Structure 1
Amino acid sequence: MQPIQLFDLASRQAQWLAIRQNVVAGNIANANTPHYAAKDIKPFESVMKDTGFQMAATNAAHFTDGMNAAQVTETGLIDNAEVKQSGNSVQLEEEMMKTGQIKRDYELNAGLVKAFHRMMLMTVRK
């Protein structure tokens, strides 16, 4: 029997979301700090491209995707950030939109794990 990769994938995304929320919170906290450069982390899609997960092919006609391991915690300057007169590039509107997106992604992640867990429990009961 093959191990179930969904729980590991959901755990990685939850970890990525927690790190991103921490970075966004730091941006919001430093919104009035002179010369503070707004930061963000790599999108989760690029993290997934760099992980060791591979799609299972049960038929020769199935497509597969090769992927490698990745670092989740890399941060960098936001390319399209507008720099204020104080030298600060934090835009509170964008940071608040990011927090809403993080919340939605986390709720989706938790909902999928919960549904998959219920499905597994129903299978074991029978």
Structure 2
Amino acid sequence: MEPVNLFDLATRQSQWLAVRQTAIAGNIANVNTPGYLARDVEPFEKVLDRTGMTLGSTQPGHMGFGATEASFRTQAQEYNGALLPSKNTVVVENELMKAGEVRRAFEMNTAIVKAFHGMLLSVSKG
């Protein structure tokens, strides 16, 4: 088992957020494309579930988990609203809300990495 590597986990979430932001930008770019189906990335929680993380101890009293490389799948979103005559499923307001969620998640991810980096520096300085 691999020990918990919070920097690796933060990197993977950052990569996932970049892929999601690309999907959202593609949706907004195709808002007027006839027949375009809005796309989104599967939730990060499902990516983590799919990686097969299991708990394991590296030393008595320590617990950790390992993860394998995960691919981030984009998929057509389920859409229950009324379709436009062009059969386009992109709703700009929803895409802008998702873009805001991605921005906030990037900010939180960066703050967590910064905090852990500060902790590592304080431990290494003594």
Calculate the TM-score normalised by the size of structure 2.
0.84
**1:40 match: secondary structure:** strand
- Can you list the C-alpha shifts for 1:55-108, whole angstroms capped at 9, x where unaligned? 44455xx8x889765321x11111135321111000001000000000011110
Quote how far apart the aligned CAs of 1:4 are.
Answer: 4.8
Using a 3 Å threshold, how does the CA distance of structure 1 residues 67 and 123 change in structure 2: closer, same or farther?
closer
Question: Match of 2:117?
Answer: 117
**1:28 match: secondary structure:** helix
Which amino acid in structure 2 is aligned with residue 22 of structure 1? T
Q: Distance in 2 between matches of 1:81 and 1:18?
A: 26
Preserved CA contact (<8 Å) 2:34 2:86? yes
Q: How many residues get paired?
A: 122
Q: Distance in 1 between matches of 2:29 and 2:18?
A: 16
Q: Distance in 2 between matches of 1:121 and 1:52?
A: 31
Using a 3 Å threshold, how does the CA distance of structure 1 residues 118 and 15 change in structure 2: closer, same or farther?
same
Q: Distance in 2 between matches of 1:55 and 1:109?
A: 23
Using a 3 Å threshold, how does the CA distance of structure 1 residues 26 and 81 change in structure 2: closer, same or farther?
farther
Does the alignment pair 1:79 with 2:78? yes
Calculate the TM-score normalised by the size of structure 1.
0.84
Q: Sequence identity of aligned pairs in percent?
A: 44
User: Unaligned stretches of 5+ in structure 2?
Assistant: none
Q: Distance in 2 between matches of 1:88 and 1:118?
A: 47
> Pairwise CA RMSD of aligned residues?
2.5
- Can you list the C-alpha shifts for 1:20-74, whole angstroms capped at 9, x where unaligned? 0000000001001111110011100000111254344455xx8x889765321x1
Preserved CA contact (<8 Å) 1:21 1:102? yes
Preserved CA contact (<8 Å) 1:81 1:89? no
Using a 3 Å threshold, how does the CA distance of structure 1 residues 115 and 66 change in structure 2: closer, same or farther?
closer
